[in-house]
Chain A
């Protein structure tokens, strides 16, 4: 059974840093591109970042570029999102999602972790 379990969400002050983790199991993690997607409570989904299977290529939404860094450890079956310079507008649920490949979107999502940026 495929499982994606996010952790690391917290209440953090503006300007602070946070590292989210996503533990993957039930599939060959090293073979798949992975994404982070966020959702402001009560609002829609926003793509945040992706990383290729080997970590060699990353992409970011304009809203987080230069502040967030996506990474992965294929030996630990884990995906990460380092978030620096946090702003109140970064408050959201953060989901990790497994890419199906060949531009077919995601087939599995984690349950999400909540990041609240507030003083």
Chain B
């Protein structure tokens, strides 16, 4: 089965920049769109990046998404970290067997 791999956790201090990676297990998953979802503690997921690098209205431009075809991976970068960015972050893409495949999630701690 196709898998998306994310680091289990990352941490940084307020004001710093952090990058969360998402690697595909096979093929060229970055040929499909990658989405990123934020889930704060006790809340439902919300969309912060769609189609690799697009932000829904209301999502600050501190959040950005990118694709690296050479490494078959996607990244979410959050700059100017704030305490309210502390959350779990999930990447999501597509596979022939399961229409939606999620990464295992990355817990971001803002120290």
Contact = CB atoms under 8 A, between A and B. Distances in A.
Partners in one complex: yes
Interface of A: 35, 37, 44-47, 50, 59, 61, 95, 97, 100, 102-112
Contacts, number: 63
A79 B45 CA distance: 18
Contacts of B15: none
A105 B92 contact: yes
A95 B90 CA distance: 15
- If over half of B's interface residues share one DSSP class (helix, strand or loop), that class is named, otherwise mixed; here it is loop
Interface residues of B, number: 23
Contacts of B13: none
Given A37-B100, A46-B102, A59-B99, A103 B44 contact: no
- If over half of A's interface residues share one DSSP class (helix, strand or loop), that class is named, otherwise mixed; here it is strand
A45 B47 contact: no
Nearest to B36: A105
Given A44-B102, A45-B102, A107 B44 contact: no
Nearest to B6: A44
A107 B33 CA distance: 13
Interface centre among B90, B98, B100, B105, by most chain A C-beta atoms within 10 angstroms, is B100
A102 B43 CA distance: 27
Given A44-B105, A47-B102, A107-B47, 17 more contacts: A35-B99, A37-B45, A37-B102, A45-B37, A45-B45, A45-B90, A50-B99, A61-B98, A95-B45, A104-B35, A104-B50, A105-B50, A105-B51, A106-B37, A109-B44, A110-B44, A112-B44
